[in-house]
Chain A
Amino acid sequence: MFRYLSQRIVVLLIAFFGITIIAFSLIRLAPGDPITLLLGERSVSEELRKEMTANLGFDKPLITQYFLFIYQGLQGDLGTSVITKRPVVDEFFQRLPATLELGIIALLFAITVGMPFGICAAVKRNSFFDYFTSFTSLAGYSMPIFWWGLVLIIIFSVHIHILPVSGRMNLMYDIEPITGFMLIDVWLRGEGMPAFIDVLKHLILPGIVMGTLPLAVITRMTRSSMLEILKEDYIRTAHAKGLTNMRVIGIHALRNALIPVITVIGLAFGSIITGAILTETIFSWPGIGRWLVLSVTQRDYPVIQGGIVIIASMIIMINILVDTTYAIVNPKMRKQT
């Protein structure tokens, strides 16, 4: 187990340094710089432009800039945003709780709905329920997020008036964030149950929209994985031993079927951190997805490279966790290594 994990960690560390080089160099290979963009249609003399570039520290040789980035990065300083003039680390961690709060809700929705549906579809193979699950998960997989979000807003916010259009909470509540997780902050600030319910209501639509794609994937993966396992000899033996259906499916089949599902959940969590751009735009959600995309269009070098490095580190950590979970769930993997 130790050897297995240490091998994984070494591979992931190499990947991490590769990512820092790619993140740093790719954006600089693209023509145009932050000053050009800030000026837009305007222009200044070449001399003044050089002075402005030097003020931002982009006049140094690229190799020096890279080593400075790594050196300062190891000390927790990933530079300052060219646009907002704020430290990248602060900007990132101010936005992360919003993305995580929404991501966790979306994933909870996807797991709690997707797994039971996948299991039932596998057990009742070729039934109406199975076809219905396959059809809806395919629809969920192919749904354009932007359209789906607007449809839900028009139905639930504009016509039925039961859920808010966007944002994290009603503007009447003037709460200064402490942790950044609004579900927690409302209690810490003493606003109580009405504010908590309000925050939950604001999470429902973006949670559903963001959770739709993982829901479809988890449902399909659980179903196919369960179908594989249900054909195995030991399942037949368990039935022959007279075990209840519930016990066979819940203990013997599900535990083995979980491995690919855990992989999918791990990947879905990674994509939730980075891929929330559309959901965040529709629901005016102050997360990191939109922030990063904007930084690319604005050529905000420190944000792009800093943001990518933090996200890469987080995904690497998640990968290590997933690999560890494999080893715990499936004893065969421990023995193989």
Chain B
Amino acid sequence: MKIKLLLSASFIVCISSFISLHAKDKTFIYCSEGSPSSFNPQLATDGTTFNATIPVYDKLVDFKVGTTLVEPSLAKEKPKISVDGLTYTFYLRNDVHWHTTKYFKPTRNFNADDVLFTFDRQRKKDHPYHLVNGGTYEYFNSMGMGELIKDIIKVDDYTVKFILTKPEAPFLANLAMDFASILSKEYGDYLIKIGKKEHIDTEPIGTGPFIFKRYTKDTIIRYEVNKDYFEGRSPFDQLVFSITPDASVRYQKLKVGECHFAAYPSPTDLNAIKKDKNLRVMEQEGLNVGYLAMNVDKKPFDNRLIRQAINHALDKKSYITAIYLGNARVAKNPIPPSMWSYNDEIKDYEYNPERAKKLLKEAGYPKGFETKLWVLPVSRPYNPQGKKMGEMMQSDLAKIGIKATLVQYDWPTYLEKSKNGEHELLQMGWTGDNGDPDNFLYTNLSCDAKTGGANRARWCNTQFDEKLIAAKKTDKLDKRIVEYKEAQKIFHDEAPWVTLAHSKVSVAMSNKVVGYKIDPFGRDRFYGVDLQE
């Protein structure tokens, strides 16, 4: 009996000491959708990895939370840009501490050496870290940063100059992207000394609001608050990412209070979440566009009248209801409406099969023709159900005499073949990287992009290209707006795509969460967020 009592007492003491030990900490739990591929955003292209690295790192400039506006972060102020647009001078903060962890204890603050270290690793083949852990830097390369940056000069410990090969107005927005997160040179040198270079991407040292503590594979990522954060301490002691791949399970965990915030709620759960009094949903138009590209290198899509006919033939409103479940709006331009320079004066091609038939007749195809329609094999925010949309398109096209056969490939094959221009009609889309119209228009529709393969319509229009290049060369916003608006007009008349939809981005959270601002790039940022008890 005595032993039983003793055991029960020690059991209770054990539990209560455990509860009191952990109850002191204010912890925020985020149910994320997957495992990060690395803890260095320079090596990644996926949002999951970016979300996991955002708490740890800072950049010279960053997007103001919830907007696409660029503001200084590790730089004290916006850079000084030379008149020819080729030199950007950054003045750096001198009060930024590097994280102190179990695996590294810094001896100095952030300075210009770290900026050089970060960018040189990605652009210089002879840098000691260039080939560490793969060395492919997909984002840095696909944004053309390697060719764009001619040199980076350290003027003094807190001044850095970027010299460009050509004027490029979106350059500043590029520096606010995740691949431009600043890494510690001192940490890099230390890892070389102890012969563990590859740890730089798995055991991160940053300057951000949270310090990386531990990652248990496919299960949990733990961060501790950075008490010395230069913009002020976060109210949380701990930030935890609970990796939960299934959207329905994330919803159930949110419901029972096992997490405060859930990534990517399933569209089918949104109504139920909205009705739950303990939960809420935040929605915003995403920075994306879903489109149908018509390969102008192939007949009859080289004929503008055919492309316009297809624009009139597709009932886009019906796709919004059936495919996006109402969580999107019809697209009339290749850039989303929330983006500056959006040309709202353009009148979209109305759904009008009769007009489409007339255009086909005018183009010399009164009875229509046969073609192949490639359907998107993966679910993307800009097109969640490619096959279903393909079936609806097939039926719309049949009404004007175009017999479309649906073609399906797996995602890598789809990317590879469409890059080579093997398709005729192709579902594709784009999610913005830096909030600049150039990132939509030049990346997907320029003559350069045709050579690179990202221009899936393979449409190269000199007039359109000139507008985009003129807009790149000036940092005057008014002039850029004019150029982009005119470019959108040319795009509309030439109709290389059927612009389909701009989808909404949704997040689900507990009612206790305050201060969260939805990010137009789809990232989840928890600095500035709190829990209301």
Residues of A near any B CB (own CB < 8 A): 30-33, 35-45, 48, 52, 55-56, 80, 82-86, 91, 94-95, 150, 153-154, 157-158, 161, 164-168, 171-172, 174, 176-177, 192-194, 281-284, 286-287, 290-291, 297, 299
Contact = CB atoms under 8 A, between A and B. Distances in A.
Interface in B242-275: 242-246, 248-249, 252-253, 255-256, 258
A80 B417 CA distance: 27
Contact of B258 (A43, A45, A83, A164): A164
A36 B245 CA distance: 24
B18 to A, nearest CB: 6
A282 B452 CA distance: 39
Interface of B: 11, 14-15, 18, 22, 27, 29, 37-38, 43, 45, 131, 133-136, 138, 141-142, 146, 198, 201-202, 214, 216-220, 222, 240, 242-246, 248-249, 252-253, 255-256, 258, 409-413, 415-417, 419, 428-430, 443, 449, 451-454
Given A38-B138, A94-B217, A165-B258, A171 B252 contact: no
Contact of A39 (B37, B45, B249, B417): B45
B455 to A, nearest CB: 9
Given A43-B454, A174-B222, A30 B138 contact: no
Contacts of B413: 30-32
A174 B415 CA distance: 42
A307 B352 CA distance: 54
Given A85-B43, A171-B240, A32 B253 contact: no
Given A48-B141, A52-B141, A55-B134, A32 B220 contact: no
Contacts of B222: 174
Contact of B419 (A36, A150, A154, A299): A36
B252 A153 contact: yes
Among A177, A284, A287, A290, which residue has the most Cβ atoms of chain B within 10 A?
A284
11 contacts: A31-B409, A38-B136, A40-B415, A42-B138, A153-B252, A157-B256, A172-B18, A192-B14, A194-B15, A284-B243, A291-B218
Contacts of B38: 84-85
A259 B459 CA distance: 67
Given A167-B219, A284-B219, A44 B142 contact: yes
Among A85, A91, A153, which residue has the most Cβ atoms of chain B within 10 A?
A85
A238 B244 CA distance: 56
Given A168-B219, A286-B217, A82 B249 contact: no
B219 A286 contact: yes
Nearest to B428: A41
B214 A176 contact: yes
A282 B43 CA distance: 28
Contact of B453 (A33, A43, A82): A43
Among B29, B240, B256, B417, which residue has the most Cβ atoms of chain A within 10 A?
B256
A77 to B, nearest CB: 14
Contacts of A83: 37
Nearest to B135: A55
Contacts of B243: 284, 286
A158 B248 CA distance: 12
A165 B256 contact: yes
Contacts of B45: 38-40, 42
A36 B256 CA distance: 40
A165 B251 CA distance: 10
Contact of A43 (B14, B249, B452): B452
Contacts of A38: 45, 136, 138
Contacts of A150: 248-249
Nearest to B202: A86
Nearest to B130: A55
Nearest to B452: A43
A295 B109 CA distance: 39
A153 B429 contact: no
Contact of B252 (A48, A165, A299): A165
A284 B249 contact: yes
A166 B249 contact: yes
B144 to A, nearest CB: 9
Given A39-B142, A85-B134, A31 B258 contact: no
Nearest to B125: A51
Closest 4 CB pairs of A and B: A32-B412, A286-B218, A85-B133, A42-B142
B246 A158 contact: no
A329 B29 CA distance: 52
B412 A37 contact: yes
Given A35-B136, A290-B218, 10 more contacts: A31-B417, A32-B411, A32-B412, A37-B415, A41-B454, A43-B142, A43-B454, A172-B18, A174-B214, A286-B217
Nearest to B134: A85
Contacts of B15: 194
Contact of A36 (B22, B255, B416, B443): B416
Nearest to A168: B219
Contacts of A164: 258
Contacts of B22: 172
Contacts of A283: 249
Contacts of A91: 217
Given A31-B416, A48-B141, A176-B214, A42 B454 contact: yes
A169 B133 CA distance: 31
A48 B240 contact: no
Contacts of B218: 95, 284, 286-287, 290-291
